[in-house]
Chain A
Amino acid sequence: MSAVWLKRLFLSALAAFMTLPILVIAGVALNEKKTLAFPPQGFSLEWYAQAFTDDGWRAALVHSVLVATAAAAISVSIAVPIAWFLWRRVAPWARIVEVLGLAPFILPPVITALGALSFWATTGFYGQPWTVVISHGIFFVSLPLVTVTLGFATIDREIIEAGMTMGADDRTLLKTVVFPLVRPYIISGFAFAFVLSLNEYIVAYMTVGFTLETIPIKIFNALRYGYTPTMASVSVFFVLVAVVVFGLVARFGDLPKLLGAWSEGDKG
């Protein structure tokens, strides 16, 4: 069947297109000398080790992880009450808050970045390390907002009715029924916000670009002032983190459903 082969060729070509850049940077980080040659000349794991042993890169890594963890926590703390309120209450006006939560992600990122820059400069906090945490927290609200809203939508309201008939009040229901049901969606939302914050450049650059080096800022600076194989090894490490995190989300959750497919149980 030539049609089947055509389809396989098409899928393989796209798979190659998506993995080639990553393979090449994984390769150039193996060079023995400080060069970005491919195929690598000589073999050394030195550049992979440097991502953790070099003071500058390690500091950037720590900054990135701290910022992403705190920012994802802020995103979730804003998104969960919105999703819960819209699920629990009849309040059309509250949709405005929802739209505000989704807007930063729909608009070009440079808008949020420039807004953050104007805001922190006007309030006099420009350059403070914590400003990027808040700005990232706001920037990524949309991700947990989407996943948690989906989580609430999957709750069968009859279960809640049953709980109420048995005499449970709002607080008990929230703690024993609602929260356990939406918890996987909260965790996925946190994971999405975390990985995107790790990789975010423009908002971080416009808020703390000159005072705090995150990994994307450090890679960009290295691009301008001299390539090193370390930037390649760090990039490979970042790809792995993303794949592991999304792999875990898929392992413990229903990824196709999370991304909008109908749940059909086991398809194969």
Chain B
Amino acid sequence: MRRTPPERAADYFPIAYPAFMLGLFFVVPFAIMVAVSFFRRVQGGFYEPAFTFANYGRFLSVFFGEVLVFSLVLAGLVSAVCLLLGVPFTYFLTKLSRKAQVFWLVALLGVLSLSEVIIGFAWSTLLSRTAGLSNLLVAIGVMDRPDAWTPGFAAVLTGLVYQAFPYTVLVLYPSFSRLDPSLMEASRTLGASPLKAFSTVVLPVLRKTLIATFIIVFIFALGAYLLPQILGRPQHWTLSVLITDQAVYQSNMPFAAAMAVFLVVASLSLVVIVAALNRKGAGQ
């Protein structure tokens, strides 16, 4: 069937409802949040309409700078570890039988959909002194007595990698499964070892996918709001945690909104970079 432009008023009807819902419950809330970021906070947890840049001015503090740098470094590390594990994993995954692939995909989706609360709770238990992995190491004689590995930076990093790994694989999966197998065969025929063929032929072909995935996972990790609280100490808090904290516990909506606007701008600039990369990739 040929696609036709809408002509009569009734043709527009199907899109009217989604546009209305998304407009009212996504665009309007977003606009209110941006407006609140310019409001002035008043005592007692409320705010009044104003037009002040004071909330944005607080970005210039050392405290905010430290949280921002920590968030970016943490998200970068998570993204790097996830790619290091995810790239070989996804490559192997797409070579498995269809049945095995479906099995892995179900497991990955299961972990991906797990609540951050549950992931945080599970890892805090696994890294605790009473129920943790360290008990296992004591049992086999590697350690003298059980130790608590949480809260700490390593625990935060592990939890975030656990959460972001399935996401990384699912983002990589389409490109890897569409990869032409004859590329690998050709380079093998020409005498390259599997590792060499993978690193000199497969990876360069997928370079744009890899960069895009790094950025997508980076944004995903930037959004973590619970794991740094559950598995880390206050110095391991990220921007997302700080926003939640200011909005709910400090009742400072204007400052929380200003930080949220900042986070949106940062994420959107990264999304634009991904889109530009994809457009370039499609042109080749």
Contact = CB atoms under 8 A, between A and B. Distances in A.
Interface of A: 3, 7, 10-11, 14-15, 17-18, 20-22, 24-25, 27-28, 35-38, 74, 77-79, 81-82, 84-85, 87-91, 94, 97, 100-101, 103-104, 106-119, 122, 134-135, 137-138, 141, 157, 160-161, 164, 173, 192, 195-196, 198-202, 205-206, 209, 215-216, 219-220, 223, 231-232, 235, 238-239, 242-243, 246-247, 250, 255-256, 259-262, 266-268
Among B88, B116, B162, B256, find the residue whose CB has the most chain A CB atoms closer than 10 A: B116
28 contacts: A7-B92, A18-B107, A21-B162, A36-B131, A38-B125, A78-B22, A81-B17, A88-B4, A94-B15, A97-B15, A107-B264, A110-B244, A118-B33, A122-B32, A157-B2, A161-B1, A198-B115, A199-B118, A206-B247, A216-B116, A220-B226, A232-B121, A238-B115, A250-B105, A255-B105, A255-B106, A262-B177, A267-B101
By DSSP majority rule, is chain B's interface helix, strand, loop, or mixed?
A: helix
A262 B166 CA distance: 20
A114 B263 CA distance: 12
Contacts of B125: 21, 24-25, 28, 36, 38, 232
B110 interface: yes
B77 interface: no
B206 interface: no
Nearest to B17: A81
A266 B240 contact: no
B219 interface: yes
B102 interface: yes
B279 interface: no
Given A37-B131, A115-B32, A206-B248, A200 B115 contact: yes
Contacts of A27: 131
B119 A21 contact: yes
Interface residues of B, number: 90
A159 B15 CA distance: 24
Contact of B173 (A74, A122, A232, A261): A261
Contact of A164 (B1, B18, B19, B256): B1
Given A91-B6, A262-B178, A268-B98, A108 B118 contact: no
A89 B6 contact: yes
A39 to B, nearest CB: 8
Contacts of A135: 25
A118 B253 contact: yes
Contact of A3 (B3, B101, B194, B253): B194
B152 interface: no
Contacts of B22: 78, 97, 100-101, 138, 141
B26 A138 contact: yes
Contacts of B80: none
Contact of A260 (B89, B174, B267): B174
A110 B92 contact: no
B160 interface: no
Contacts of B223: 107-110
A38 B98 contact: no
B33 A160 contact: no
By DSSP majority rule, is chain A's interface helix, strand, loop, or mixed?
A: helix
Among A115, A117, A160, find the residue whose CB has the most chain B CB atoms closer than 10 A: A115
Contact of A106 (B102, B119, B219): B219
B244 to A, nearest CB: 6
B192 interface: no
Interface string B1-19: 1111110000100110111
B178 A261 contact: yes
Nearest to B223: A108
Given A18-B107, A25-B118, 15 more contacts: A18-B165, A18-B166, A24-B131, A25-B125, A78-B21, A88-B3, A100-B26, A135-B25, A201-B226, A202-B244, A216-B117, A223-B117, A232-B121, A242-B113, A246-B109
B126 interface: yes
Contacts of A81: 14-15, 17-18
A101 B18 contact: yes
A201 B117 contact: yes
B74 interface: no
A243 B102 CA distance: 12
A144 B127 CA distance: 36
A200 B118 CA distance: 10
Nearest to A98: B18
Given A38-B135, A219-B117, A246 B99 contact: no
Contacts of A89: 3-6, 11
B252 to A, nearest CB: 12
Contact of A110 (B94, B126, B243): B243
A238 B256 CA distance: 31
